[in-house]
Amino acid sequence: MMKHILLLPMVFLVGFVNLTAQQSQELSSVFRSNRNGLNVSDELSEAYIHSNEELIYEDCLLFARSEFEADRYLAFRIISDISLKTANQRLKNNIVYCLVNLGLNDISLGVRSGVIDYLNRLDNYSFDQRSQNRLASIIIDKPSHYKRLVKLTGRIQMHQLVPHYTNRLKQDTVINTQQQWAIKLALGRMGDAQFVSECIQYVDAIGINDMVIYNLIPDLLYLQNKQVLDYLLDEVVMVNMDCRSTDPDNEVAIDCGYRLIEVVAPYIKDFPLEVGISGDIKSNNYKEALRVARLWIKKNRANYVPYFEQ
């Protein structure tokens, strides 16, 4: 009887070793295929069938240090996927620190860019103090992709950087316009009303046109502040023919209000028009859509509910 009891842990251990070996082999196969330029989505799904989150993470750490850029890019993608799915907070924190410490210091500009995308998928609670401290030290060194990283710190509410950002804004000789804009956005996102107003005033001074809508309005919306939506709704109501149609065969002047509807509609509860997957308003009649939107704004301007305040 005792022999059988003693054999049970050994049987379990052998099975575990075989499982982890199979998992490592499947994962290695995925990386080889990816290195050869093949689509690995199906292979990844198969590898996950026998997955152990922590062991996949450990295996991916090896590939995250590979000499091949494709390996490193895929490794960071896989571990970021794990961080989104896992209920293991310790593992999540380790992954985020890896993305910050290893990913944001990768030699490849493209890999670093991808890692920023992965970090932006994570909620604020994924960034523990260790990850925030490391990210702060990277920011202070003025890294590449500066604007995107500064905006990330604003989104996850890294208030410890406020004194640094405030001092940088005072250093006119060492900070460029793009860096100033990024810092003001981050400070505004962290609740500084002065910088929310400054960002709106900056856009308003330029005026609404296609380039502003595509390049600067997303930055204003990043602030997640009702004052921004108030400003944009007021601009929708105003007639402004400084935008152009998107039809290359028939490019004509159109009212910028229609473009603005497309960007503000997803942020407002019970807005009368919907935006499709393509980002366009679901309407075959642009003039009627604009009329409906303007009428709704005039009736609801004082009491509408932004989605980001819920």
Q: Is 81 exposed, middle or buried (0-12, 13-18, 19+ CB in 10 A)?
A: middle
- Asked if residue 188 belongs to a domain, the reply is no
Q: pLDDT tens for residues 186-203?
A: 999 999 999 999 999 999
Q: Which of the listed residues 99, 125, 144 is the one where a domain comes to its end?
A: 144
229 and 114 part of one domain: no
Q: pLDDT tens for residues 79-136?
A: 999 999 899 999 999 999 999 999 999 999 999 999 999 999 999 999 999 999 999 9
The enclosing H or E element of 244 equals strand 243-244
For tokens 């028009």, what's the residue? 273
For Cα atoms 260, 261, 267, give the angle at the middle one, nearest 5 degrees: 105
For residue 149, pLDDT over 50 is answered with yes
140 and 241 part of one domain: no
138 and 243 part of one domain: no
- Asked if residue 177 belongs to a domain, the reply is no
Tell me, what's the pLDDT at 5? Answer: 45
Q: Which of the listed residues 144, 159, 186 is the one where a domain comes to its end?
A: 144
Average pLDDT value for the chain: 89
Give me 23's structure tokens. Answer: 């998992």
Q: Which pTM was predicted?
A: 0.88
- Asked if residue 280 belongs to a domain, the reply is yes
For residue 16, pLDDT over 90 is answered with no
How many domains does one find in the chain?
2
Q: Which of the listed residues 83, 112, 144 is the one where a domain comes to its end?
A: 144
Give me 68's structure tokens. Answer: 């091949």
Q: Which domain holds residue 65?
A: 10-144
- Of 301, 290, 283, nearest in space to 254 by CA: 290
226 and 140 part of one domain: no
